[in-house]
Structure 1
Amino acid sequence: MLYPLKFEPILKERLWGGTKLKDVLGKPIQSEITGESWELSGVDGDISIVAEGPLKGASLSELIQKQGKNLLGESVVERFGLDFPILIKFIDAKKDLSIQLHPNDDLAKERHNSFGKTEMWYIMDADPGAQLIVGFNKSVEKEEYVKSLEENTLLDLMNYEEVKEGDTFFINTGKIHAIGAGVMLAEIQQTSDVTYRVFDFNRRDKDGNLRELHTELALDAMDYEKKDDFKVMYPNQKNAHNQMVDSPYFKTNYLNIDKKMQVDLSTRDSFTIYMCVGGKANIDNGTGRTMLKRGETVLVPASSDSVTIETDKATLLEVSI
């Protein structure tokens, strides 16, 4: 049986990135503008590589080819084939990200032969006053939105949310959004890298060029209604599975643990991912044992009947399909 798998982080420089992934989470970076650490990825060109144990050096795609249902779960394979359906990241925004949105599955399939991009954010660290942009502050007509782009007044239509550690947001497709400066977060999303950038604060890249905008593509993908459906309120019972998100694309629980905890996985026909967002813990599925500290992620194969989490204090995000 497969053991709990940790993967090498795939580090991404971004115009808006900083050094928190190194300074706070201990990622092995030298750059001053690292914005993302892809922890678990099946995206073409960025396939995760096992970091330790007997399978060290194997790619996620190789493991899926060889292990299939043992790794992913029978129902996951039936739905997604041999594509890994989740992309896991840690993000550090030293500067504001562009204002953007993501298309739904139907549009993404038609235009890009890709999945759409539903995602959630868990705030791990936030400078005082740090904000997110999530949705509009009122319902708008498409014409009003286009006019705001032309007149450079889009920011007046945005809804701002000041954030702190532990705040959680669910970003469904079509919702305009942006991560603000001073925020570090954990992101769980569908496997997709399709983003429609609609406003970038008129910034220029390292070569002095304005970054590409996707104004026309975004028009038919955007939800123009004001909706208060994005802030996730979740319980915080100790040593229990506290449900955060239950969507068609992924399910996420919050685990606040201060003692040994046994998790029954025998009825779960899916892999399980643990993202450590605080403290540290040992993850043991009976075949292998993996130590997890803040800023690390482990993939527990679907063939595992149970997992033991040993810790004095840890906060984990538990993700499955």
Structure 2
Amino acid sequence: MKLYPLSFTPILKERIWGGTKLQTVLHKSSLSKNMGESWELSAVSDDISVVNNGAAKGKTLTELIDLFPEELLGEKVLLKFGKQFPLLFKFIDAKEDLSIQVHPNDQLAQARHNSFGKTEMWYIMQADENARLIVGFNKESTQTDYLSHLQTNSLTELLKEYPVQTGDVFFLETGTIHAIGAGILLAEIQQTSDITYRLYDWGRVDDKGVSRELHTDLALEAINYNTTKSKITYDNVIENKSVTVVDSVYFKTNYLQLSTSYSWIKKEDAFTVFMCVEGKCTLTYEGELFSLVKGQTILIPASITHFLLEGSATLLEISI
């Protein structure tokens, strides 16, 4: 079998803070009124994505990596990560505020959980009026400051809020305290990790009256108590040209505003992922047409060197 552009069945996750935008805006198939996350491409244990198109339909992402390690991942990725798929791609709908949380870095996550850390980025797809994110401290702080405010339920007084709108980008290094606020639909790109330390959950309980576990002690060593610059400014967008918005050691994300056509040529010896965050387009590869619409994600194996994109869409292009 020869590899081709691969799409996967979304893995849908109910969350206490979730809503219905994944269904109504992104057309995910679910009747739940609390659907918080759509895992678009995942190699997290027990949540392995399954191909839903072409000759590989029904195979898992990890099965394909075993069969075609270099062709799918690329030699550079294979040398660095082995057969581990290093990134996780999601769409998230926050009907209510998420918990205030933090993610450990690679060293801490490896020592405690045998896992990658969780560096991540957000692209805001839609935001209700007055929607906001919480990202980092609003002034240089200490562990003592943090614990004092946590104990008096005044943690938010230490944290920075950002009003958001469609197109805003945030890059969150590990250790950055954060929370997605109510009324936000976003695309998330992150390291392959499901390690989250929950710090504060707004006094919320589930339908059985039970509050969710907090991870106060675990978080203390993970938190960066300094201020951070997480919001990314990009104003050099040119239609039908791929423009870099995030370039980190973990992943690179380009923004592509497609209005007519774009001839994609392989730049790195690595796989590439496209997330469609607005509009729709087609991808033509070796005479075959693949569709990509808002809320869909497609994996381009490293063995593919060129193809044509046509249509009117906003795309995030992610590579290692």
Q: Give the TM-score category using the shorter length.
A: over 0.9
Match of 1:269 in 2: 269
Structure 1 equivalent of residue 232 of structure 2: 232
Distance in 1 between residues matched to 2:182 and 2:284, nearest whole Å: 37
CA distance, structure 2, for counterparts of residue 288 and residue 157 of structure 1: 53
1:293 — aligned with what? 293
Flag structure 2 segments of 5+ consecutive residues without an equivalent: none
Written as runs of structure 1 = structure 2, the 5 A alignment for 1:183-202 is 183-202=184-203
Question: For residues 44-63 of structure 1, what are the structure 2 equivalents within 5 Å?
Answer: 44-63=45-64
Deviation at 1:205, TM superposition (A): 1.9
SS at match of 1:8: coil
The answer for the alignment partner of 1:281 in structure 2 is 281
Please state how far the C-alpha of 1:287 moved relative to its aligned partner: 6.8
Name the counterpart of 2:175: 174
1:83-127 deviation digits (Å, cap 9, x = unpaired): 111100000000000000100000000000000000000000000
Preserved contact between residue 2 and residue 301 of structure 1 (Cα < 8 Å) = yes
Paired amino acid for 1:111: R
> What's the offset of the Cα at 1:189?
0.2
| Counterpart residue number, 1:318 | 317
Q: Which amino acid aligns with 2:290?
A: T
How far the C-alpha of 1:303 sits from its partner, in A, is 0.1
1:131 aligns with 2:129: no
- Partner secondary structure for residue 232 of structure 2: coil
Tell me the CA shift for residue 226 of structure 1.
1.4
**Counterpart-to-counterpart distance in 1, 2:49 and 2:287:** 21
Say if 1:17 and 1:35, in contact at 8 Å, map to a contact too. yes
Residues 46-70 of structure 1, C-alpha deviation per residue, up to 9 Å, x if partnerless?
0000111111111001000001010
Correspondence for 1:96: 97
CA displacement at 1:283 relative to structure 2 = 1.6
Task: Show structure 1 runs of 4+ deviating over 6 A.
Answer: none
Partners of 2:250 and 2:57 in 1: how far apart? 28
* Structure 2 Cα separation of the partners of residues 49 and 162 of structure 1: 36
Kindly state the Cα deviation for residue 288 of structure 1 after the two structures are TM-superposed: 4.1
Matched position secondary structure for 1:307: strand
Q: Determine the C-alpha separation between the residues in 2 that align with 1:110 and 1:154.
A: 28
Amino acid in structure 2 at the alignment position of 1:13 = E
What is the rounded CA distance, in whole Å, between the counterparts of 1:237 and 1:135 in structure 2?
31
Partner Cα separation in structure 2 for residue 74 and residue 285 of structure 1? 22
Q: Provide the rounded CA distance (Å) in 2 between the counterparts of 1:145 and 1:108.
A: 22
SS in 1 for 2:292: strand
Moved more, 217-226 or 286-295: 286-295
Q: How far is the alpha carbon of 1:261 from its aligned partner?
A: 1.0
Name the SS of the counterpart of 1:186 in structure 2: strand
Tell me the SS of whatever aligns to 1:155. Answer: helix
Question: Counterpart of 2:305 in structure 1: which amino acid?
Answer: D
- Unmatched 5+ residue regions in structure 1? none
User: 1:11-50 counterparts in 2 under 5 A?
Assistant: 11-50=12-51
The two structures, once aligned, show a CA RMSD in angstroms of: 0.9
In 2, Cα distance between equivalents of 1:273 and 1:196: 28
- For the 8 Å contact 1:4–1:284, the answer to whether it is kept is no
CA distance in 2 between counterparts of 1:11 and 1:207 reads 22
Q: Equivalent residue for 1:304?
A: 304
> CA separation in 2, counterparts of 1:202 and 1:288?
52
SS across alignment from 2:29: coil
CA 1:287–1:65 in 2, change beyond 3 Å: closer, same or farther? Answer: farther
AA in 1 matched with 2:295: G
Measured after TM superposition, the shift of residue 285 of structure 1 is: 3.1
In the comparison of the two structures, how many residue pairs are matched? 318
Report the secondary structure of 2:231's partner residue. coil
TM-score by length of 1: 0.97
Amino acid of the structure 2 residue aligned with 1:116: G
**TM-score in terms of structure 2 length:** 0.98
Q: Work out whether residues 4 and 289 of structure 1, in 8 Å CA contact, stay in contact via their aligned partners in 2.
A: no
CA contact (8 A) 1:136 1:158 kept: yes
Contact preservation (8 Å) 1:278, 1:294? yes
- What SS does the aligned partner of 1:56 have? coil
Q: Is 1:220 matched with 2:202? A: no
2:106 matched residue in structure 1 = 105
